[in-house]
Amino acid sequence: MPCIEINDLTKDFGDGKGLFNLNLKIEKGEVFGFVGTNGAGKTTTIRHIMGFLKPDSGSVTVQGLDCWADSAKIKKLIGYIPGEIAFPDAPTGSEFLKRQAELLGLQDMSYAERMIQKLQLDPSAHLKRMSKGMKQKTAIVAAFMADPEILILDEPTTGLDPLMRAEFVDILQEEKKRGKTIFMSSHMFEEVEHTCDKVALIKEGKLIAVKPTVEVKHNENKVYKLEFLQQEDYKRFLSEPFQITEKRENQNQVLIEIHDRDIQMLFRTLRGYSVKFISEKKFTLADYFNGLYEEESAHA
Ligand SMILES: Nc1ncnc2c1ncn2[C@@H]1O[C@H](COP(=O)(O)OP(=O)(O)OP(=O)(O)O)[C@@H](O)[C@H]1O
């Protein structure tokens, strides 16, 4: 049984907004990235998993429990970082965390303390005076402190600076090693690329693709950048049988897209040229999904 299962979920807000026949399965121990542009439906999906929204049709389950009917039980299984953090009335971060611990029946605060240290958070600050990043860190500690089996994270690095983002990626990798199931939405492909086993792309409430991250990274089509020493070599190369994706005449540069099996042919051809340098352009998850996104828009 998958840990989280979304079956034919539809929530129609009207005007083409909402979620439409969404299907996703997240296995136990999987770190699952959920990416899409603003308004794509990420938060709406997460709110269904948390049992805050009732599906128009379809179902969402966590460990076999229906997220709407069993929402109270579901919430106990999950550590949740909301997309928009609104703290209940509490004077300081410490007081808020203490009240959360009481609600969770948590005696041992050592895990919370470790998170506070890793995130370099001063929780004694007044909540209303905290920066966006500090509030986000406080929400992260609150979500993780009971050491839940499942983490549902809606854009968890919002407001964090790049160093703290890197720290957060380390924390997620540790949690993954400890067997946690993590579902995380993000705008940032780099973030999911370094943490997630699988990534799903959502657009206008519909699922576009679900891919294992390694499969995307090990794409067999590579893009190489070549620069020639002389312009005549650059011009001559243009008539070679390679797929040239970009020409940069004033730098004597070309970008070519080539399948792994044709690499030897490329190197043989280049023996007849004076090449200043050749470099592989790393193919990222962003490139992959942007390609899919464009394809989907062309067919729409
Ligand atoms: N309660 C609601 N009533 C009507 N429309 C809604 C409601 N909640 C969300 N929407 C609309 O549904 C769409 C999906 O919103 P959602 O917040 O899920 O997107 P998102 O992918 O999380 O975007 P972002 O990255 O901006 O947070 C948006 O167009 C939003 O305006």
Q: What is the pLDDT of residues 182-227, one digit of tens each?
A: 999 987 777 788 889 999 989 899 998 898 988 776 677 788 999 9
Task: Please report the pLDDT score of residue 152 as a whole number.
Answer: 97
d(CA 204, ligand 1 centre) in Å: 10
Q: What is the pLDDT of residue 182?
A: 97
Ligand 1 contacts CB of residue 82 (under 6 A)? no
Half-sphere exposure of 114 (CA within 13 A, CB side): 11
Query: How far is the C-alpha of 155 from the C-alpha of 37, rounded, in Å?
Result: 12
DSSP codes, 51-91: TSS--SEEEEEETTEETTTTHHHHHHHEEEE-SS----S-S
Please name the residue whose Cα sits nearest to atom 3 of ligand 1.
Answer: 13
pLDDT attached to residue 193: 81
List, for residues 5-38, the tens digit of each pLDDT value. 999 999 999 999 999 999 999 999 999 999 988 8
- Give the class (CATH, top level) of 2-216: alpha beta
* Exposed/middle/buried for residue 38 (C-beta within 10 Å: 0-12, 13-18, 19+): exposed
Q: Are the CB atoms for 253 and 225 separated by under 8 Å? A: yes
Distance of CA 155 to the CA centre of its chain: 8
| Separation of CA 124 from chain center | 31
The residue to mutate among 43, 50, 52, having the most atoms of ligand 1 within 8 angstroms of its beta carbon, is 43
Q: Which atom of ligand 1 is closest in space to residue 41's alpha carbon?
A: 18
Residue 25 alpha carbon to ligand 1 centre in Å: 22
Q: Quick one: pLDDT at residue 48?
A: 97
pLDDT at position 194: 80
Task: Output the pLDDT for position 226.
Answer: 96
Tokens of 265: 């042919």
Tell me the ipTM for this assembly: 0.93
* CATH 3.30.70.790 domain span(s) along the chain: 220-282
What CATH class does 220-282 carry?
A: alpha beta
Looking at the chain, the domain(s) classified CATH 3.40.50.300 span 2-216
Ligand 1: residue whose CA is nearest its atom 30? 39
Q: Which residues of the chain have pLDDT under 70?
A: 217-218, 283, 299-300
Cα 273 to middle of ligand 1, angstroms: 54
The reported pLDDT for the residue numbered 275 is: 96
Pocket test for ligand 1, best of 10, 15, 44 (most atoms within 8 A of CB): 44
